[in-house]
Amino acid sequence: MNINDFARLWKEENALFNMEQSPEFWDSRVEDFQRHVSGGFDTRKDKLLKFLEERNIFNDETQILDIGCGPGRYSSEFAKRAKQVTGIDISSKMIQYAKRNTANKYLNHAYYETVAWESVDLDARGWRKEYDLVFASMSPAISGGDALLKMCEASKGYCFMSGFIERKDEIGDQLYRTICGGEPPRRGNNLYYALNILFLAGYYPEIIYHDTDLEQALTVEQAVETYCTQLRWRKPVSADMQKRIADYLSSVASNGLITEKSQTKLAWIFWTV
């Protein structure tokens, strides 16, 4: 199989899901993502920063491009450690939060812009071979071979991307079985396609796996919003289905809270360009 074969398979898999890429969709998720900036995912963030520090990524001259930066979970940290970080996201609300989450004394190290990665013209912006690290953590912007190899073209040093290989949500999966019937569909082959495309393009990616148990508590209202959003990746959510979801979550809540316990297998892919 060649690069085009893996790119085609990646595209075909994405077509099986409702891969919503509109700014409005991501604007609606900003509060959910903001909870993660200072919530129970800090351990994962600290591990990733240590991983990059051990590879001597950060110094006074380092320039970093963060694709799909969201509310600045990583870009706000990069601004403390690098000369310049550029964070881009399709959601203007995510960018607003990223600016707020970057400490004032480091704002001169950060540039944020609302723009889709697929629409970025590297030559027009002077971004070709501009960045020491091109970074995309859990970013749906890297949704195919073209977007992946474009990362390489923007980098003069290293690239990093990450994603779930597997995720099991105790409540979310049971909700899917109850509301939709059957087992929830699994994703994760995108990283398999990415590894093969990179290898066939002449790169030698390093891959690191992490098994993590996560737990977060949400109000019923927050949980309804979160699970409806997740379900929209798989199928349309009608008003009737949303009511059924709300009824189910209310039935399993304890003291008005939903405690979601998740088992995840996460993959980091790091390579030199």
Instruction: Taking the CA atoms of 126, 128, 130 and 133 in sequence, report the sign of the dihedral they define.
Output: positive
Are the beta carbons of 164 and 135 closer than 8 angstroms? no
95, two tokens: 């960018």
Task: Give me the mean pLDDT over the 96-112 stretch.
Answer: 93
State percent of the chain over pLDDT 90.
60
- Superfamily designation of domain 3-167+185-214+264-272: Vaccinia Virus protein VP39 (3.40.50.150)
pLDDT in tens, 55-81: 999 999 999 999 999 999 999 999 999
Q: Let me know: does 160 contact 134? Beta carbons within 8 Å.
A: yes
Tell me, yes or no, if the pTM score tops 0.85: yes
Choice among 32-36, 44-48, 139-143, 151-155 with the minimum mean pLDDT: 32-36
What's the pLDDT score for residue 160? 98
For residue 171, give both structure tokens: 């409540």
Of 261, 249, 241, which Cα lies nearest the Cα of 224?
249
d(CA 242, CA 209): 35
* Coil, strand or helix at 123: helix
- Give the model confidence (pLDDT) of 11-24 as tens digits: 887 776 654 567 87
pLDDT at 39 over 70: no
- pLDDT value at position 243? 93
- Bigger pLDDT: 232 vs 111: 111
Best CA proximity match to 1, nearest among 237, 241, 200: 200
Highest mean pLDDT among 4-13, 14-23, 130-139, 237-246: 130-139
For residues 175 and 101, the answer to whether their CB atoms sit within 8 Å is no
Taking CA atoms, 81 is separated from 22, 47, 51, 159, in Å, by 32, 15, 14, 17
Question: Taking 80 as the threshold, does the pLDDT of residue 232 lie above it?
Answer: no
Q: How confident is the model at residue 85 (pLDDT cuts 50, 70, 90)?
A: very high
Within 10 Å of residue 42's Cβ, how many Cβ atoms?
12
d(CA 89, CA 102): 15
Assign 161 to helix, strand or coil. Answer: strand
Phi, psi (degrees; rounded to nearest 5) at 110:
-125, 140
Q: How far is it, in rounded angstroms, from Cα 216 to Cα 261?
A: 7
Q: Where are the domains of the chain?
A: 3-167+185-214+264-272
Please check whether residue 86 is in contact with residue 65, taking contact to mean a CB–CB distance below 8 angstroms.
Answer: yes
**H-assigned helices in the chain:** 3-15, 23-27, 30-37, 42-54, 75-81, 92-101, 122-125, 145-154, 170-180, 189-200, 220-232, 239-252
What pLDDT was estimated at residue 40?
46
